[in-house]
Chain A
Amino acid sequence: MTKFRENNHLVGYLFTAPFIIGFLIFTMFPMLASLYYSFTDYNLFEAPNWVGFDNYKTMFSGDDQYWKSVRVTFTYVLASVPLRLAFALAVAMLLNKAIGGIGLYRSAYYLPSLIGGSVAVSIMWTQVFGDKGLLNSFLGLLGIHTTTSWIGSPGTAIWTLIALSVWQFGSSMLIFLAGLKSIPASLHEAANVDGAGAGRRFFKITLPMLSPIILFNLIMQTISAFMTFTPAYVISRGEGGPLDSTLLYSLYLYKRAFQFTQMGYASAMAWVMLLTVGVIALILFQTSKYWVHYESKGES
């Protein structure tokens, strides 16, 4: 019996081997290597020299562009994640109605997410928000004539990125939709009988019942927002401009790594990012006990 069990373990390992080997080679090893490089002056060309915490010191005290990119990234995350979740929930509630052809609507609303992270959409975005773009033509129809390039102006560029992010609400929406469907209809019916209005039902039933899913979406979207790269790269043509206003953290990291070939510094940046995002995810988990409602725990 014992032997059979051990064999069983072996089979288990065998089946997971492709993942484990892949993980060790393609994730674990590069991560450890980058941790090592973050303490060196590795420049891709010459053997790395150990520099201790120099990269980290420069980052925190001698690189104002770094702090600029941190500010830009937090602006982006703090604006795009709540807006995106709110939008996703609103659309999910609309699509939760039993009307004809709902499947078609769901697919249509999910479409932007399928293609959203792609280069093509980012290029389309530059057309929409450019100086002769769709938005300006539309404003022109309303009698507001402007030739400002929304993407080229320091004040508005980051907001075009945020708008792009909000537009890609599909995956969160799908998860919200599944969550909404799992809320027992009897709760709403009972509340209805007791005379609760739509708003009250939303805040007292839908939101609490949905809160575990909100937490999940919040954490996933926060992490992915911190890692956003493609749209900023494409829209600012790899620069993070104008005036570094779209210099998202990962874009700045990329510039350091591949434009200036400062792999050591870029590795250090990557580790600070990893730790920061980790801490933020942890904080979100910690706060969850105050606002996330789990049915199994009984009433809250």
Chain B
Amino acid sequence: MKKITTTLVAASLMIGLAACGSGNNGGNASNAAASGSAGSTGSAGSSASATAKTDDKPVTVRVAWWGGQSRHDYTLKVIDMYEKLHPNVTIEPEYAAFDDYWKKLAPQAAANQLPDVIQMDISYLNQYAGRNQLADLTPYTESGKLDVSSVAEPTLAGGKIDGKLYAMNAGSNALTMMVDPAMLKSLGIEEPAADKGWTWDEFAALGDKAKAEGKLLFSDLRHDVFFPFYLRGQGQLMYAADGTKLGYDDDKFFIDYYTKYREWYNKGYTMSLDKLSQSKGTPEEDLVALGTALSSNQWSNQFIGISTAAKRELDLLPVPGWDSNKALFLKPSMYFTVANSSKVKDAAIDFINYFINDVEANKVILGERGVPVSSKVQEAIRPNLTPEQTKVFDYVAWAEKNSSEMNPPNPVGAVEVDALLKAEVEKILYKQVTVEKGAAEFREKANAILAKNK
């Protein structure tokens, strides 16, 4: 009996081991297959290419970005196109969702292993550029390797720090209010003129009407976006020019804005915090797409994803301003930057140049990263746009004429200040502190964080 047991155990062990072994083999085989296919696309490209201008030494360029699935898909396609034109270049894509992206990038910076091309956000630009992680792109724009001849100067300016171009604008964005015209009609609400939009007060006045029909005014207004936007409307800045403190001294602005915000929240015009904390912010969860809110106040490039999710016609309106002093501004939806530690800067620049200036590439990108910054590309791809994309291009073109220059990029520590603002507002909305106390607390703590930049 004992013998049989031993044999059984031994046999099962061996089967187990064999299974492991074959599993590994399988893994290797599939890896080999993958690299084989990558190699073959490369060689197929080489026979087709005649336009490669860089010398033919093989280079590997690591390109990193954040985004959703659709962005990953088309970016990989663009990379494929680029590799076909440049058979000596192998591009290693590294992509993730926004939050994870930054948590991965920071340790890479610490290990001196940043990707060569890094998609950059305005909140982090100073953190990376100011700490000497990013290459100055000015020499490349001067030599024409990064062609900015059809990019307007204000569009470039958003990537400059102390006169040096650290980041190439990947596309223009403007704040907008997305609405569902059919829903407004069914509620008996008249849509405002497309070049005027509502004021916040006019819009808030619709709250009770919407509530009676079980609709919200909007889910929320992102604090790190809309509070600075409100401040702009008041002629104030969120951050002082040297980044060592907040740009405003008077708590009045905070109190005014969040008294109003709290009123909307308490009246039930916006999404309750417990539900908001569980929403992932994907286009599929957007309340206009779901048909449960009157508006979604977002960056314009989000319109494509949201109207795709909604599967019906949506409209773009000017985002309500606080007054008419052109608080609206164009913002780079994101940037492309090159790591200072990169050993293949030329190749990295060439890829960015392709992304920004190549018409064929932009026929695939189609403004998903914001309206193309090159006027030539904009013109060339217009016929290829869907009606939704055309709306975004038109809106950004309108916004460009009705806006003022954007604020300088956020200082180091802004990520922490943004988190603090969100936490402080939650305390106010949960009635743990008064608006006045929250305003003072926020100002003191934020100034303490920013004081480290002195």
Residues of A within 8 A of B (CB): 43-46, 62, 65, 126, 130-131, 148-149, 151-154, 236-239, 241-244, 255, 258-261, 263
* A-chain residues with CB within 8 Å of residue B278 when the two chains form the complex: 126, 130-131, 149, 151-152, 237
Q: Give chain B interface residues in 183-221, CB to chain A under 8 Å.
A: none
Q: Is the CB of A239 within 8 A of B277?
A: yes
Q: Is the CB of A45 within 8 A of B426?
A: no
Taking a contact as CB atoms closer than 8 A, the residue among B110, B131, B133, B432 that contacts A243 in the complex is B432
Q: Is the CB of B103 within 8 A of A45?
A: no
Taking a contact as CB atoms closer than 8 A, the residue among A43, A151, A241 that contacts B426 in the complex is A241
In the complex, 30 of the A-B residue pairs with CB atoms within 8 angstroms, ordered by the A residue number, are A43-B131, A44-B109, A44-B110, A45-B106, A45-B127, A45-B128, A45-B131, A46-B132, A65-B423, A130-B278, A131-B274, A131-B275, A149-B274, A149-B275, A152-B272, A152-B274, A152-B275, A237-B277, A238-B99, A242-B430, A243-B427, A244-B423, A258-B103, A258-B106, A258-B107, A259-B103, A259-B415, A259-B416, A260-B416, A263-B110
Which chain A residue shows the least CB distance to B110? A44
Q: Is the CB of B275 within 8 A of A46?
A: no
Q: How far is the CA of A259 from the CA of B430 in the complex (A)?
A: 25
Q: How far is the CA of A151 from the CA of B133 in the complex (A)?
A: 39
Minimum distance in angstroms from A25 CB to a CB of chain B? 16
Which chain B residue shows the least CB distance to A254? B103
Q: How far is the CA of A138 from the CA of B147 in the complex (A)?
A: 62
Q: How far is the CA of A241 from the CA of B280 in the complex (A)?
A: 14
Q: How far is the CA of A260 from the CA of B275 in the complex (A)?
A: 26
Q: Does B273 contact A (CB under 8 A)?
A: yes
Minimum distance in angstroms from A72 CB to a CB of chain B? 14
* B-chain residues with CB within 8 Å of residue A45 when the two chains form the complex: 106, 109-110, 127-128, 131-133
Q: Is the CB of A241 within 8 A of B419?
A: no
Q: Does B276 contact A (CB under 8 A)?
A: yes
Q: How far is the CA of A43 from the CA of B274 in the complex (A)?
A: 33
* B-chain residues with CB within 8 Å of residue A239 when the two chains form the complex: 277
Q: How far is the CA of A196 from the CA of B274 in the complex (A)?
A: 52
Q: Is the CB of A153 within 8 A of B274?
A: yes
Q: Give chain B interface residues in 104-124, CB to chain A under 8 Å.
A: 106-107, 109-110
* B-chain residues with CB within 8 Å of residue A238 when the two chains form the complex: 99
Q: Does B102 contact A (CB under 8 A)?
A: yes
Q: How far is the CA of A244 from the CA of B277 in the complex (A)?
A: 12
- With A243-B426, A258-B107: A152-B273 Cβ-Cβ less than 8 Å: yes
A-B pairs, 7 with minimum CB distance: A152-B274, A45-B131, A44-B110, A149-B274, A258-B103, A152-B277, A260-B416
Minimum distance in angstroms from B438 CB to a CB of chain A? 13
* B-chain residues with CB within 8 Å of residue A65 when the two chains form the complex: 423
- Per-residue interface assignment for chain B, residues 278 to 311, with 1 indicating a CB less than 8 Å from any chain A CB and 0 otherwise: 1010000000000000000000000000000000
Q: How far is the CA of A30 from the CA of B106 in the complex (A)?
A: 18
How many chain B residues touch A (Cβ–Cβ < 8 Å)?
29
Q: How far is the CA of A62 from the CA of B106 in the complex (A)?
A: 25
Q: How far is the CA of A126 from the CA of B110 in the complex (A)?
A: 34
- With A44-B109, A131-B278, A243-B430: A259-B419 Cβ-Cβ less than 8 Å: yes
Residues of B within 8 A of A (CB): 99, 102-103, 106-107, 109-110, 127-128, 131-133, 272-278, 280, 415-416, 419, 423, 426-427, 430, 432, 448
Q: Is the CB of A242 within 8 A of B107?
A: no
* A-chain residues with CB within 8 Å of residue B277 when the two chains form the complex: 149, 151-152, 236-237, 239, 241-242
Minimum distance in angstroms from B421 CB to a CB of chain A? 13
* A-chain residues with CB within 8 Å of residue B430 when the two chains form the complex: 154, 242-243
Which chain B residue shows the least CB distance to A242? B277
**Given A236-B277, A242-B273, 18 more pairs with CB closer than 8 A:** A44-B109, A45-B127, A45-B132, A45-B133, A149-B274, A149-B277, A154-B430, A237-B277, A237-B280, A241-B277, A241-B423, A241-B426, A242-B277, A242-B430, A259-B416, A260-B416, A260-B419, A263-B110
Minimum distance in angstroms from A35 CB to a CB of chain B? 17
Q: Counting chain A CB atoms within 10 Å of each CB, which of B110, B273, B278, B416 scores highest?
A: B278
* B-chain residues with CB within 8 Å of residue A130 when the two chains form the complex: 278
Q: How far is the CA of A202 from the CA of B416 in the complex (A)?
A: 54
Q: Counting chain A CB atoms within 10 Å of each CB, which of B102, B110, B274, B430 scores highest?
A: B274
* B-chain residues with CB within 8 Å of residue A153 when the two chains form the complex: 274
* B-chain residues with CB within 8 Å of residue A62 when the two chains form the complex: 448
* B-chain residues with CB within 8 Å of residue A261 when the two chains form the complex: 106, 127
Which chain B residue shows the least CB distance to A152? B274
Minimum distance in angstroms from B203 CB to a CB of chain A? 26
- With A131-B278, A243-B426, A259-B419: A44-B106 Cβ-Cβ less than 8 Å: yes
Which chain B residue shows the least CB distance to A260? B416
Which chain A residue shows the least CB distance to B420? A65
Minimum distance in angstroms from A164 CB to a CB of chain B? 16
Q: How far is the CA of A236 from the CA of B280 in the complex (A)?
A: 11
Q: How far is the CA of A260 from the CA of B418 in the complex (A)?
A: 11
* B-chain residues with CB within 8 Å of residue A44 when the two chains form the complex: 106-107, 109-110
Minimum distance in angstroms from A98 CB to a CB of chain B? 22
- With A45-B109, A258-B106: A152-B415 Cβ-Cβ less than 8 Å: no
Which chain A residue shows the least CB distance to B107? A44
Which chain A residue shows the least CB distance to B100? A238
* B-chain residues with CB within 8 Å of residue A242 when the two chains form the complex: 273-274, 277, 426, 430
Q: Counting chain B CB atoms within 10 Å of each CB, which of A43, A45, A261, A263 scores highest?
A: A261
Q: How far is the CA of A265 from the CA of B388 in the complex (A)?
A: 47
Minimum distance in angstroms from B104 CB to a CB of chain A? 9
Q: How far is the CA of A239 from the CA of B103 in the complex (A)?
A: 13
Q: How far is the CA of A236 from the CA of B278 in the complex (A)?
A: 8
Q: Counting chain A CB atoms within 10 Å of each CB, which of B133, B275, B277, B416 scores highest?
A: B277
Taking a contact as CB atoms closer than 8 A, the residue among B273, B415, B427 that contacts A260 in the complex is B415
Minimum distance in angstroms from B282 CB to a CB of chain A? 12
* B-chain residues with CB within 8 Å of residue A151 when the two chains form the complex: 274, 277-278
Which chain A residue shows the least CB distance to B111? A44
* B-chain residues with CB within 8 Å of residue A154 when the two chains form the complex: 430
Minimum distance in angstroms from B1 CB to a CB of chain A? 19
* A-chain residues with CB within 8 Å of residue B276 when the two chains form the complex: 152
Q: Counting chain A CB atoms within 10 Å of each CB, which of B102, B106, B272, B427 scores highest?
A: B106
